[in-house]
Amino acid sequence: MLNDSVLSAPCVSSVNESRLNIAVMISGGGTNLQALIDAVKTGAIQGARIALVISSKQDAYGMTRAAENGIAAVSIGKAEFPDAAEREAAISGALQRAKIDIIVLAGYMSILPPGLIREYEWRIINIHPSLIPKHCGMGFYGKRVHTAVLAAGDRESGATVHYVDEEVDSGQIIIQERVPVMDGDDADSLAARVLEAEHRILVAAVNKVIAAFAGS
């Protein structure tokens, strides 16, 4: 016997098909991934779903977050594919199979190959834990960024979401949020304050990209 949910299934699936597919690429804890998962659940992000998580590290806790939320997740890193061309092909294949429209680099600590960046031009965004153009580029990632901010004696830091182009952290900025550097901050306390801002602006940036996509 059919129940209500079965009867309504075709309607639900046609709504799902009209949503954009987001891939989130990670390497670690995945708190930014979690912010996106929560935003899709609460409706703070509409018109898109997280269809795929790709991690550069098998043991990244973000993989567990994906599994707990029923999101397809695959580890494609140097461990699985030591050869760069094979790694690129594996990433590209996974994105194509999942029909990905938008890629979000959320704590992804590898450099994407230029071919992939060109393929998804204006459809890849990255979150960086500083106020670009400060403390960014090759070698500035994770805790190193906050250590550099403190070493420079900056009184404020923040987070940036930008489009990804073929240089590191150089693409067009979508949104930034400033946070103060407090007396007595160490890299961990500053990172925690910046991370809260990251979660807010990443959701806002994804909504802007969805809107731009819909209008294109």
Is there binding between residue 158 and ligand GAR (CB under 6 A)? no
Region from 5-13, 29-37, 91-99, 116-124 binding ligand GAR, contact rule CB under 6 A: 29-37
Residue whose CB is less far from ligand GAR, 21 or 55: 55
Q: In the annotation, is 135 catalytic? A: no
User: Which residue lies nearest ligand GAR, judged by its C-beta?
Assistant: 107
Distance of closest approach, residue 143 Cβ to ligand GAR, in angstroms: 9
Distance of closest approach, residue 74 Cβ to ligand GAR, in angstroms: 17
Residue whose CB is less far from ligand GAR, 26 or 181: 26
Is there binding between residue 128 and ligand GAR (CB under 6 A)? yes
Task: Out of 20, 22, 31, 164, point to the residue binding ligand GAR (CB under 6 A).
Answer: 31
Interface with ligand GAR (CB under 6 A), residue total: 17
Is there binding between residue 129 and ligand GAR (CB under 6 A)? yes
Strand 102-105 relative to strand 73-75: parallel, antiparallel, unpaired? unpaired
Cα(213)–Cα(210) distance, integer angstroms: 5
Is there binding between residue 22 and ligand GAR (CB under 6 A)? no
Is there binding between residue 77 and ligand GAR (CB under 6 A)? no
Which one of 128, 146, 162, 199 is the catalytic residue? 128
Q: What is the 3-state secondary structure (H, E, C) of the chain?
A: CCCHHHHHHHHHHHHHHCCEEEEEEECCCCHHHHHHHHHHHHCCCCCEEEEEEEECCCCCHHHHHHHHCCCCEEECCCCCCCCHHHHHHHHHHHHHHCCCCEEEECCCCCCCCHHHHHHCCCCEEEEECCCCCCCCCCCCCCHHHHHHHHHHCCCEEEEEEEECCCCCCCCCEEEEEEEECCCCCCHHHHHHHHHHHHHHHHHHHHHHHHHHHHHC
Distance of closest approach, residue 172 Cβ to ligand GAR, in angstroms: 16
Binding mask 131-150 for ligand GAR (x = CB under 6 A): ----------xx--x-----
Residue whose CB is less far from ligand GAR, 16 or 64: 64
Q: Which of 15, 75, 22, 82 is nearest to 52 (CA)?
A: 22
Number of CB atoms found within 10 A of residue 111's CB: 11
Q: Which residues are catalytic?
A: 128
Q: For binding to ligand GAR (CB under 6 A), which residues are involved?
A: 26, 28-32, 62, 106-107, 127-129, 141-142, 145, 195, 198
